[in-house]
Amino acid sequence: MTPTGHPVIPVPRIGVLLVNLGTPDAPDAPSVKRYLREFLSDKRVVEIPALLWQPILRGIILNTRPSKSAHAYRQVWSEEGSPLAAITRRQAEALAKAFAGRAMVDWAMRYGNPGIASRIAALTAAGCDRILLAPLYPQYCAATTATANDSAFVALAGMRWQPALRTLPPYHDDPLYIGALKADLERQLEALDFTPDRLLLSFHGMPQRTLELGDPYHCHCRKTARLLAEALGREVDVAFQSRFGRAKWLEPATDTMLAGYPGQGVRKIAIAAPGFSADCLETIEELGIRGRATFLGAGGTHFARLDCLNDSVAGIAMLQRLVARELEGWLAAP
């Protein structure tokens, strides 16, 4: 018998928390400034001593970059808000239906809202004593996967009664992921009204130093590209986008590749971003708007930006099977 005055203990449940990078709350300079302050203050993201970096961040970057970034965000913002947040929410809703009665599914952003700590708190308040943290980064990088895990561990450090926690491993070479990419990209390529001369795979860039320090990200991207090329039965080109600052970044650079293609006789291209689980500023604006302008301005004639897996049939089926596999032992077979 429960003693008088004993707090109510919810029925034990299993939780799944999808995590993506983050987004400002609105496409305006103050919101972007708050977001960038949090993002660029993460020691996993900028590996420069704080005494050197913070004066640059607060004195220069946060006073110049927010207005430019806000303009870019306004070009991709919709009635649902930020595309990254909207798509991640739809992915969570689709998985919630798939696991209805078996597991709760929620979503969070590493930077911005909803935060990881708040959603872990919500899941535990609902009775989840076992949680799968699922950073939606196919290729592992300390600046993405590790910092999402760090944030969850910090949240648990402040809890007296912690849930058990599992983390989704990278899935850059998983047959489920490669198969989903193959099916979805083939569907999109077949729908084009032209035949691309090249298929360019653009991954988010990282400083070259991360590779030299032992981060597996570059190798994971290259392996994804190789396996996907084999699955598609065609050659692909690989490049890295979103360079920032003066340090040397992984090469070749996406914008350089796009500018150079027409001079090589490549005038029709399709570009995909398989390292992103959901379309966002970097895919819609950087590739789809600025990348298109760069390519066509250099003499290209046909340009197609292909969607990420998002909440497509192939994408959700892949996530469902990845999550179910990681929940084995916790979750009874359906």
Amino acid at position 281, single letter: L
Domain boundaries of the chain, sorted by first residue:
175-305
Domain 175-305 grouped into CATH 1.10.3720.10: no
Asked whether 180 and 212 are in contact (CB, 8 A), the reply is no
Mean pLDDT of 287-299: 98
Rounded to the nearest 5°, which phi and psi values hold at 198? Answer: -140, 150
Mean pLDDT of 177-206: 98
Task: List, for residues 126-178, the tens digit of each pLDDT value.
Answer: 999 999 999 999 999 999 999 999 999 999 999 999 999 999 999 999 999 99
pLDDT of residue 2: 65
Distance CA 94, CA 106 (A): 11
Q: How confident is the model at residue 334 (pLDDT cuts 50, 70, 90)?
A: low
% of the chain with per-residue pLDDT over 70: 97
Amino acid at position 291, single letter: G
pLDDT(50) > 90: yes
pLDDT of residue 39: 97
Task: List, for residues 2-12, the tens digit of each pLDDT value.
Answer: 677 766 667 78
pTM of the predicted model, to two decimals? Answer: 0.95
How far apart are the two ends of the chain, measured CA to CA in Å? 33
Q: How confident is the model at residue 181 (pLDDT cuts 50, 70, 90)?
A: very high
C-alpha dihedral, 51 to 144 to 96 to 313, nearest 10°:
150
Give Cα 5 distance to the centre of its chain.
45
